[in-house]
Amino acid sequence: PKDPSGSPSAASIKIKKEVANAFVKRQKRSNLYFEYYKSPMEQMHERCENYPPCDYLSDQIGFSMAYNRFFG
């Protein structure tokens, strides 16, 4: 099937999986360290979120002031 412009439609183009894999490569991660690493700020946010008084106060006065009040 061809569209009005004369080129085949996307549905009619078929490529074998092996041929497609020859020129379409997935990017592989070279180091899984970054996948599990959390920044110090993210660790602080999680610590505050897991402690209900800190989590509540951070909504009222802001994260940094609440964190310093309970853990600083």
Instruction: Report pTM.
Output: 0.51
pLDDT tens per residue across span 13-34: 777 777 766 666 666 655 665 6
> Do residues 72 and 53 touch, judged by C-beta distance below 8 A?
no
pLDDT tens per residue across span 33-69: 566 788 899 999 999 999 999 999 999 999 999 999 9
- β-bridge mates for residue 8, sequence order: 2
62 in helix, strand or coil?
coil
Question: Could you tell me where the DSSP H helices lie in the chain?
Answer: 17-23, 33-36, 40-49, 52-61, 63-71
